[in-house]
Structures are given as C-alpha cells and as structure tokens.
Amino acid sequence: MEFDEMKLIWDSQNNEPLYAINQEALNRKIQHKSKSVTRALDFVDVMMIVVNLIGGIVLIVDTVQENGRPFEYVVAVVYLAFFVYALYRRFARQQEVKEFDKTILGELNKAIWESEYLIKQSSTMVFWYLVPIMIAANVTVFLNANSFWLSVLTIIILPLAYFGGRWEVRKCHLPKKRELVSLREILLQVEEQTVA
C-alpha cells in the first residue's frame, strides 16, 4: 500500500523512530476507495434492473406479436421477476448502508461491507440468476420443438460465467477488500495513538 504522505518523525529524547500518518491524506484515500466500491455496486444494481426490465418487456412484446403460447411467456416472467428482485435488493442494501456511522471509520466499514456484498453477489450470480434463466429458456425451447442449439449454448455459457465470476472476484474485488481492511487497521492504529 502506498502512503507518500506518511512521514517519519524522530523522537529527540529517545532517538527512536515514530511514524505518523497524515490523517487528511488517509481520509481522502478512504473517501476515494469508498466511493469507488459504491459506484461499482450501484452500476451492478442499475444494470440488473435495466437488463431485466428491458429483457422482460422485449420478450413479452415479441411473444404477443407472434401470438405465442402461454409457456412462451415463462422466460419473460422470469426476467420481470428478477427485475422486481433487483429493485428489492437495491432498496434493502440502501437501508442497510444507512445504519453505518457518519464517521470516517463508519465510511470505511460501509465500504468493506459493500465490498463483501459485491463479492458475494458476483460469486453466486451464476446460481441465483443465470441458472434459472437458462432453465426457463431451455424448457421453452424444448416445448417449442426448436433447435437444440440453445442447450448447447447453455452448456458453454454456464461454465464460462462461473469461472469468469470467480476470476472477477479474485482479480478485482478481493484485492480492493484487502486494501480496505488494511486501511481500517491503519485508521484504528491512528485512533489508538491519538487516544493514548
């Protein structure tokens, strides 16, 4: 971790090195990291809401125009159900975020919590999101007696999505969380030094 603002102060009596952290620089770094995590989470939320709403509407309109049979609405209903679920999750998350203190430590704890939330969402998305959509799509294709290529595509997409999600968590989200946790340790040390 880089702290160019960290300064070495020599204790003149004991000739021992003491380390002091520029608290203003630390606060700026915490604010920046917190906003970065919040923006990433907001982007994921908005994308889930928009994609599912548009997907559901497009599929319903397409099915109505083609005088589709009732089972052909299943995928559209699944998309719309995920749209409602995404709205609910966003609202619930925003309510939980309000519980954090309005201090710099509270801001840091909120960022760590949001980072953990993003990690959990990214690593489990294949199971709670892609699998139900793929099952609904495959059942619709099977009942429609259409091409089996969607099933082949599913066999390819699911493992790619699973391993892609794991890679994203490992390369993007976990390093950010580790950095936030070490920032919290530094902040707690600074607070202990100022109290002592």
Q: Is residue 161 domain-resident?
A: no
HSE-up of residue 51 (Cα within 13 Å, Cβ side): 11
- pLDDT for 54: 96
CA angle in degrees (0–180, nearest 5) for 43-48-53: 130
Q: Is residue 18 domain-resident?
A: no
- pLDDT for 75: 92
Q: What is the mean pLDDT of residues 76-104?
A: 94
Q: Is residue 43 domain-resident?
A: yes
Q: What's the pLDDT band for 2 if we cut at 50, 70, 90?
A: very low
pLDDT digits (tens, 9 = 90+) for 40-61: 999 999 999 999 999 999 999 9
pLDDT digits (tens, 9 = 90+) for 130-173: 889 888 888 887 777 766 676 777 788 888 888 998 999 999 99
> Hunting for tokens 């609904």 — which residue is that?
136
The pLDDT mean for the chain works out to: 84
pTM for the model stands at: 0.78
Q: Is the pLDDT of residue 36 over 60?
A: yes
* Residue 31 belongs to domain spanning: 27-154
- Say how far apart CA 195 and CA 172 lie, in whole Å: 35
Tally the domains of the chain.
1
Q: Is the pLDDT of residue 96 over 90?
A: yes
- pLDDT for 68: 85
Q: Is residue 4 domain-resident?
A: no
Q: What's the pLDDT band for 121 if we cut at 50, 70, 90?
A: very high
Distance (Å) of CA 70 to CA 37, 60, 66, 136, 146? 42, 11, 12, 13, 16
Q: Is the pLDDT of residue 10 over 80?
A: no
Q: Is the pLDDT of residue 18 over 50?
A: no
